[in-house]
Structure formats: structure tokens, C-alpha cells
Amino acid sequence: MRRLVTAVVGAAAFVFSGLTIDATAQDKKADKGAPKATIKVLQENDKVRVFETTFAPGAVNTAVPSSATRVVRALSGGTIERTYADGKKEKVVYKTGEVRINNPSPAFTAKNVGKTEIKLYVVHVK
């Protein structure tokens, strides 16, 4: 088990230092009053942060750790729309039970654009 954790930590090279992502002014207006995604930290130490993020339909997460790799498992799948600082939008579909390794990317805001709740289990290496 320790080897697996070490492998994930080594492969992830992930920094989650409470990054806050600024959306464009237009997106802020569109999401004003939208519910916020909830983040529940399950475990954390000086090297790893493990948490669950729950997106109600229409919920927005403006604190997406995107500067490094993270391991994400969809406990309840759905469609998330990412909006990058340059205004580019991308839809990401998570299937329930799916595991992904999300590589570093530019900063983005995530929004649940589906009609069901999405719950993601995330391992973030600091």
C-alpha cells in the first residue's frame, strides 16, 4: 500500500496551495447567485490533501487546483464545464466509478452544467 501511495505521490507532483481561480467578469455575472461546490477535506498532511468535491446542479467551484497533477475518481458522475481565464470553455464528462489523472492545466472555474449531483474524490499532492 505504501508503494502505491508513493507511486501516486511521485506521479502526481501536484501542488494544491489553496489556489483561487478568478473567472472573467462575464462569467462572474453569469454565475452570480449560483450555489458553490462543497469541499470536504478527508485527510491532509504536508505532502498530500485528499478531499471530496460535491457539485449540486448549477454549482460552481472557483478554487480548482490546476497547477499540477491530481488523481480524480467520480463517485457520482456528470458533466462539468470548465471556463479558463482566457474565456475558453470545455465540457468534461465524468462517468461514475471512472478514475482519471488530470495533468497540470491553466487555471479554470468548474460548473456542474447537468441536472444531477456530481461527487468527485480527489488526491492532490502538495
Residue 27 confidence (pLDDT): 42
Residue 103 corresponds to which amino acid? N
Pairing of strands 118-125, 48-55: antiparallel
pTM above 0.85, yes or no: no
Cβ atoms of 113 and 79 within 8 Å: the answer is yes
Task: Tell me phi and psi for residue 7, to 5 degrees.
Answer: -65, -45
CATH class of 2-125: mainly beta
Per-residue pLDDT of the chain (126 residues; tens, 9 = 90+): 444 444 444 433 333 333 333 333 334 444 567 799 999 999 999 988 999 999 999 999 986 766 778 999 999 999 999 998 899 999 999 999 999 998 888 888 999 999 999 999 999 887
Domain ranges of the chain: 2-125
Helix (H) or strand (E) holding 89: strand 89-94
**Using alpha carbons only, what angle is made at residue 97 by residues 60 and 121, rounded to the nearest 5 degrees?**
45
